[in-house]
């Protein structure tokens, strides 16, 4: 994806303004599984400049113009996440089937984005899609068995790994970092930790920041930094040499994502012997489990819930598709560099 002459000549104030808009949208995307941060930057018209800026900084090239853009995107994104994390977490915990139905539509809305990038399907694309689909289904099944994610206290390496995967959403349109955190079972803990940090800062209570920062925010943040520096270059390399199978894998990941987003589940109190966060609970530990970490069980939905889920999925699909159309139209009016 090349920068256009218009993009290169854009005044710095206009570039920063677009960067702030893209950062706010990107922050919202990272909070809502199914929407890609890369897609949001594409809609704001700064995606090529942002990716180029990451490449510059990771190779120790620091231009004021680049730093201004990256700073605007980063600050705006952090503000959006900090202000809205608690609200989104509450909706996910208290209105699961509503939010997950919306997430399914948002997730599937990324498929046409990648389908348009692929063009005519071929064998390597199909093989990649099948592998990506099976991989995501496998992760969802492991999560349902409590092997990965599923609440509880995740380890530092696991949270850092989740941060690395989440950072991939900043690189390629159509990939949702929020969903990856959700299927890995750390989505709610991360939002909870961010909300705790916000409350602690608001109350000027430094002591209350130690636990959420040390146990969640810091390892995820380290993973995100490593992901931005490493995954961006890896994806660029894969897309340059194996573009079609790589895009096929991404399509498969999105299609397989809905398996882990089955909306009609409800929390049930854990019993002794239950596995949460990869650990078998004793009778003394059961009562200490936070309700938001309780295991989920499927239930038979009412006809009204099924109809509502369908409507919400369609709405989510339309939102993601609409954002991608905005980005595509913006790119279309910018002439490609020779």
Please report the pLDDT score of residue 323 as a whole number: 67
Please report the pLDDT score of residue 282 as a whole number: 76
The pLDDT tens digits of the residues spanning 63-89 come to 898 899 999 999 998 888 888 877 877
DSSP for residue 289: S
Please report the pLDDT score of residue 8 as a whole number: 44
Please report the pLDDT score of residue 338 as a whole number: 34
**Position 150 pLDDT exceeds 70:** no
**Position 24 pLDDT exceeds 60:** yes
**Position 5 pLDDT exceeds 50:** no
Residue 284 phi, psi dihedral angles, 5° rounding: -75, -25
Token pair belonging to 55? 């490449």
Domains of the chain, residue spans: 5-264+300-332
Please report the pLDDT score of residue 151 as a whole number: 47
Share of the chain above pLDDT 70, in %: 80
76 versus 49: which is more confidently predicted? Answer: 76
Q: What distance separates the 2 farthest-apart alpha carbons in the chain?
A: 68
Across the range 218-237, mean pLDDT stands at 80
Share of the chain above pLDDT 90, in %: 10
304 versus 243: which is more confidently predicted? Answer: 304
The C-alpha atoms of residue 134 and residue 131 are separated, in whole angstroms, by 5
Across the range 281-306, mean pLDDT stands at 79
Concatenating the DSSP letter of every residue in 139-169 gives HHHHHHTTSS-SSS---HHHHHHHHHHHHGG
The pLDDT tens digits of the residues spanning 151-175 come to 445 677 888 888 887 777 666 666 6
* Cα–Cα nearest to 261, from 190, 171, 319, 181: 181
Radius of gyration, alpha carbons of the chain? 20
Of 28-42, 179-193, 255-269, least confident by mean pLDDT is: 28-42
The C-alpha atoms of residue 239 and residue 231 are separated, in whole angstroms, by 12
64 versus 140: which is more confidently predicted? Answer: 64
The C-alpha atoms of residue 268 and residue 152 are separated, in whole angstroms, by 14
Give pTM, 2 decimals: 0.64
**Position 258 pLDDT exceeds 90:** no
DSSP for residue 11: -
Across the range 177-181, mean pLDDT stands at 74
């Amino acid at each position: 994806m090349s920068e256009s002459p218009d993009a290169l000549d854009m005044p710095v104030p206009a570039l920063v303004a677009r960067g702030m808009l893209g950062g706010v949208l990107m922050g919202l995307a990272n909070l809502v599984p199914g929407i890609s941060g890369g897609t949001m930057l594409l809609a704001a018209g700064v995606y090529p400049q942002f990716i180029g800026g990451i490449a510059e900084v990771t190779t120790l090239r620091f231009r004021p113009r680049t730093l201004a853009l990256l700073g605007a995107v980063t600050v705006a994104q952090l503000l959006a996440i900090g202000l809205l994390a608690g609200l989104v977490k509450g909706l996910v915990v208290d209105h699961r089937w509503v939010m997950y139905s919306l997430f399914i539509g948002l997730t599937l809305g990324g498929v046409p984005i990648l389908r348009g990038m692929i063009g005519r399907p071929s064998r390597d694309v199909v093989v990649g899609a099948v592998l990506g689909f099976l991989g995501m289904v496998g992760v969802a099944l492991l999560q349902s068995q409590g092997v990965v994610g599923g609440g509880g206290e995740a380890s530092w390496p696991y949270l850092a790994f989740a941060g690395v995967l989440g950072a991939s959403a900043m690189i390629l349109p159509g990939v949702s970092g929020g969903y990856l955190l959700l299927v890995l079972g750390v989505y709610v803990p991360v939002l909870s930790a961010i909300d705790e940090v916000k409350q602690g800062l608001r109350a000027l209570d430094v002591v209350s920041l130690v636990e959420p920062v040390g146990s969640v925010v810091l390892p995820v943040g380290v993973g995100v930094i490593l992901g931005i520096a490493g995954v961006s270059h890896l994806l660029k390399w894969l897309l340059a040499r194996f573009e079609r199978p790589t895009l096929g894998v991404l399509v498969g990941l999105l299609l397989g994502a809905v398996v882990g987003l089955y909306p009609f589940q409800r929390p049930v109190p854990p019993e002794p012997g239950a596995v949460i966060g990869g650990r078998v609970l004793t009778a003394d530990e059961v009562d200490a489990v936070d309700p938001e970490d309780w295991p989920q069980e499927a239930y038979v939905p009412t006809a009204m819930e099924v109809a509502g889920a369908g409507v919400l999925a369609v709405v989510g699909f339309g939102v993601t598709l609409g954002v991608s159309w905005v980005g595509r139209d913006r790119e279309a009016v910018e002439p490609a560099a020779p």
